[in-house]
Structure 1
Amino acid sequence: MPRRLAHRQGAAGLGWLLGLVLLCVAGCSSQGVVTPLAPWPPQPSTSPAPGVTVPPSAIPTGSTDPGSLRRRLIHPDGDYFGVSTWKAPSESETDLVAGPAGATPTIQEFFVGWDESFNPQSVRNSYHLGALPLLTWEPEGPSKASNQPAYSLSRIAGGAFDGYIKAFAAAVKAEGQPVVIRFAHEMNGSWYPWSEGNSGNRPGDYVKAWRHVHDLFARAGATNVIWLWSPNIVRGSETTGFASLYPGADYVDWVGLDAYALGEKTAGAVLDHSLALLHAITDKPVLISETAAEPGPEKAPWTADLFRWLKLHQDVIGFVWFEHTPTDGGKYDYRFTADPATERAFRKGLASLHLVHWPITAAVSTPPPAPTR
């Protein structure tokens, strides 16, 4: 079910980061020196030492081989800790997450509608924060209506938006570094205009639209994209499968699950059935591409159990926490920082994982360790 309100705002408003002389991945002092985020000490394996500056040369540039880095990011040596905040990728909002979490996010997720062009600053901001950019690309206009025939899947597949898609692909290619694109997520639900039951869409239209978009990117040479196909979980007695909506192995790099706890006591109760459905059609790496828990007595224990669940599923490469309130895009107050018990559960659980090295920019110059998954 939809769990966010009108959301696409803040990434374009972060242009001030371009003026930074130094890469501030954990919070910068007035002298431009990277300092630890109070009140927690940086983890030696994932954070710069106090007082160490990170030069601009650490930022990925077009001179780096994006293909090699892309392959290493697709098959990480640990778990991604991702976050979606209201104005992601935002340094100030990242600080508010990283401090209580005890670690800095390695994925920054943000949302772009088809009434918006590609904003390279969002990608650069994400890398400035030491994180892989995850762009959720929503084929709709500014309306939040679930029916938008102007953006029907058949019109997308038939070429009505080719000019827009080609321009977007060219801009992504020009940026050079890997970008995760999550196109038309939660397509198995009934709440978005790209669902096959809405906007005049018919069975089979979703796969045609996905493949058409993907092929236009391939023709443009935008090979730096990591394609993330992300259905919503199948909840309760629902029997809807994923197979008819899956674009195919040649069109997908990661598969995702959007999975919110709505009173369930365990992560398995939310995720197990849908993960089995994914495994029936693909062996691609799995990212929990949106997750959080609604307020209530089960929020803290469910959060703790999510990390136990992640440790048991080595095919799942991480998660993105939807750190929003009803005033900044969430249906509920989904923040792990909303109450002390959930914050403690989150911090303890995150510390138990083997996290992907932060900052992601280090992957450019540091040889990858031997794979562990």
Structure 2
Amino acid sequence: MSTCDRAAAVSRRAFPAVLLALSAVLAGCSGAGAPEGAAGGAAARVSPPEQSASPPGPTAPAVSQVAQRLIPARGRYFGISTLETPWSPQETDMVAQRAGVRPNLLEYFAKWNEGYRRDAVDAAYQQGAVPLLTWEPWGSVAAGTEQPQYALAEISNGRHDAYIRRFAQDVKAHGRPVIVRFAHEMNGTWFPWAERRNGNSAGEYVEAWRHVHDIFTEAGVRNVAWQWSPNILRTVEKVRLQPLYPGDEYVDIIGLSGYSKHEVRAADVFEPALEEMQAFTRRPVLIAETGARPGDDKALWIADFFTWLRGRPDVIGFVWFERSVEQGGKHDWRFAETPETQNAFREGLAGLELADAPGGEPIPPG
């Protein structure tokens, strides 16, 4: 998401379990140098079972207990991010009506001067959806990429430990499962946790990630599934992803932010990054932000996105950035922008089997 997207989001505050035999889970934005994103509704229609993905190699560590609950054994996540997600059931209802089915995942954002909000997680589950929290280690959108107090070394050296521990304890006390997408799009240059910004150095991103994760582990938090989510490679092709990966023992789900700029094939947007990631991890993929820029080819790209998705059993779902410019988008990313784009989305989604979202029952602390 761009700075203007994030400003809009934060100003508003913002499956069944996999088979035990699959203890090691499988895997497999933007355009101009910065990320571009920033109850009525019919029941989900079910298509014939899709191709099953083959399991990873024997060396991949098992995902966490909560990830086993949240990674669908069958079906996909249809997620959304709106200006008021997840606090506005009315917005969810409106999207459901336009899409023809209800979303089963809701994404929201929090920066590091905000505490854990039970009401956000509760609101998602009350709407029949899994909560996806994008947790951003910065304090001010307006300050941009130069925020020395949030440099990666400052995270690793303990400056923010009191905040992280308090957040972890609150997550643990609540107990409800949540996907945490921490410090996303780290391969770009538009956030202060990028290694090429804010005085950061190579290797410090992984150190910061592991430090935060270790604090949660020490606190006995068992209800967080960790998502590592870079940006697609467009405009940052020279930045390699493996040096930024914390390791399978620290990650349950991988993801991408990727928006159609001018393409008509979804593969052109996502495949270069996915191919690179599959060289070092086989974790399942959740597209954490996507959408399409207005234009004559938008409906074509949306239709192709669902065709591509059905051919990628390692991709367990996606989050559509359903926002216009007035709602905080750099462009009008909404699938409901025009009747043609809405119809393409409804038809594509109708052919996709959706997962049954878990009920959000608390997981006992460790």
> Which amino acid is the alignment partner of residue 79 of structure 1?
R
Contact 1:285 1:317 in 2 (8 A): yes
* Distance in 1 of aligned mates of 2:233 and 2:127: 34
1:82 matched to 2:79? The reply is yes
Post-superposition CA distance 1:34-85 (Å, at most 9, x none): xxx2xx5434779xxxxxxxxxxxxxxxxxxxx8664121243111100001
Alpha carbons 2:45, 2:351 under 8 Å: kept? no
CA-CA distance at 1:328 after TM superposition: 1.9
Task: Map Cα deviations across residues 3-35 of structure 1 (whole Å, 9 max, x no partner).
Answer: 8241213347xxxxxxxxxxxxxx2xxxxxxxx
User: Partners in 2 of 1:278 and 1:332 — Cα distance?
Assistant: 28
Alignment partner of 1:328: what SS?
coil
Task: Determine which structure has greater relative contact order: mean sequence separation of CA pairs < 8 Å that are 6+ residues apart, divided by chain length.
Answer: 2
Deviation at 1:324, TM superposition (A): 1.0
Q: Which amino acid aligns with 2:186?
A: M
C-alpha separation between the residues in 2 aligned to 1:237 and 1:298? Answer: 24
Q: Deviations over 1:100-142 (max 9, x none)?
A: 1111111100000001111111000011011110000000012
Contact residue 257 and residue 287 of structure 2 kept, 8 A: yes
1:1-373 matched pairs, under 5 angstroms: 2=2, 4-6=5-7, 7-11=9-13, 27=39, 37=40, 41-43=42-44, 70-89=67-86, 90-144=88-142, 145-235=144-234, 238-358=237-357, 360-361=358-359
SS in 1 for 2:326: helix
3-state SS of paired residue (2:225): strand
Q: Secondary structure at the match of 2:10?
A: coil
5+ residue gaps, structure 1: 13-26, 28-36, 47-66, 365-373
Give the Cα separation in 2 of the matches to 1:76 and 1:204. Answer: 35
Q: Give, in angstroms, the shift of residue 354 of structure 1.
A: 1.2
Distance 2:240 2:276 in 1: 7
Q: Check 1:351–1:228 CA distance in 2 against 1; reply closer, same or farther (3 A cut).
A: same
Q: Which stretch shows the higher mean deviation, 202-211 or 327-336? A: 327-336
| Bigger CA radius of gyration | 1
Query: Which stretch shifts more, 234-243 or 255-264?
Result: 234-243
C-alpha distance after superposition, 1:159-196 (max 9, x if no partner): 00000000000011111111100000000000001000
Q: Deviations over 1:288-337 (max 9, x none)?
A: 11000011111110011000000001111010000112222210111111
1:2 CA displacement: 3.0
Specify whether residues 260 and 219 from structure 1 end up closer, same or farther in structure 2 by C-alpha distance, changes over 3 A only: same
User: Kindly tell me: are residues 107 and 219 of structure 1, through their superposed partners in 2, closer, same or farther at Cα, counting changes over 3 Å?
Assistant: same
Asked if structure 1 preserves the Cα contact closer than 8 Å seen for 2:44 and 2:353, the reply is: no
Matched residue, 1:22: none
What SS does the corresponding residue of 2:110 show, helix, strand or coil?
strand
Give the distance between the partners of 1:194 and 1:334, measured in 2 at CA: 25
Quick one: percent identity of the two aligned structures?
A: 47
CA gap 1:45/1:350 in 2 versus in 1, 3 angstroms: closer
Task: Give me the whole-angstrom Cα distance separating, in 1, the residues matched to 2:232 and 2:68.
Answer: 27
Q: What amino acid is the match of 1:118? A: Y
Q: Can you give the 5+ residue segments of structure 2 that lack an aligned partner in the other structure?
A: 15-38, 48-63, 362-366
1:137 partner SS: strand
Which residue number in structure 1 is paired with residue 31 of structure 2? none
Give secondary structure in 1 for the equivalent of 2:320.
Answer: strand
Aligned residues: 318
- Measured in 2, the distance between the counterparts of 1:345 and 1:170 equals 44
Secondary structure at the counterpart of residue 327 of structure 1? coil
The RMSD of aligned alpha carbons is: 2.0
- Look up the match of 2:24: none
Identify if the C-alpha distance between structure 1 residues 332 and 141 changes in structure 2 by more than 3 Å, giving closer, same or farther.
Answer: same
CA distance in 2, matches of 1:279, 1:237: 18
Q: Does the Cα contact within 8 Å between 2:81 and 2:107 map onto a contact in 1?
A: yes
Deviations 1:328-353 (A, max 9, x none): 22101111111111100101101111
Task: Tell me the SS of whatever aligns to 2:269.
Answer: helix
